[in-house]
Amino acid sequence: MVEFSIRPAKKEDFSAIKELIQAVQINPTGLDWRRFLVAVAPGNELLGCGQIKDHRDGSMELASIAVQETARGQGIARAIIEELLTREPKRPLYLMCQARLELLYTKFGFQTIGVPEMRKYFQMVSRAERIFNKQAEAQDRLRVMRLG
């Protein structure tokens, strides 16, 4: 089991955050190091990250949850999510994930929602995904989930 701690990101963490987001191939838009929490090993090696970002339509999104491949399965994502949820009590809170990750987020109280229940930003992304990703396997399709 790897030792780690969770802390707010610092400006000098930003390049490592961007590299991790790119490595795990998740949406790289809206990355602002000031919103991130990071999981770091002793010696300050970045193991994982996550943020809560706001959108122009007023919605808030749990986003950019990523863990280094070599550090997965050790509770890092869970610890980041729990700390983000503690620090951001505003509800509702949304997230987007691949269908294969739905079960992970239901453990935190998130529920999958349909297009009519989504805020405008998520409706737009969901519609675009249905057009551009229609050949994807079911487990790789986008899910929009809401807490609260």
| Span 108-117, pLDDT tens digits | 999 999 999 9
Alpha-carbon distance 145 to 13, whole Å? 28
Across all residues in the chain, what is the average pLDDT?
92
Single-letter code of the amino acid located at 76: I
Q: How far is CA 122 from the centre of its chain?
A: 14
Q: In the prediction, which pLDDT does 75 show?
A: 96
Q: In the prediction, which pLDDT does 10 show?
A: 97
Q: In the prediction, which pLDDT does 2 show?
A: 84
CB-CB contact of 64 with 36 (8 Å): yes
**Is residue 138 predicted with pLDDT exceeding 80?**
no
| Cα-Cα end-to-end distance for the chain | 33
CA distances from residue 87 to 17, 34, 114 in whole angstroms, order as listed: 20, 13, 27
* DSSP of 77-139: HHHHHHHHHHH---S-EEEEEEGGGHHHHHTTT-EE--GGGS-HHHHHHHHHHHHHTTTS-GG
User: What CATH number does the domain located at 1-90 have?
Assistant: 3.40.630.30
**Is residue 143 predicted with pLDDT exceeding 90?**
yes
**Is residue 93 predicted with pLDDT exceeding 80?**
yes
32-65 tens-digit pLDDT: 999 999 999 999 999 999 999 988 888 999 999 9
Domains of the chain, residue spans: 1-90, 96-148
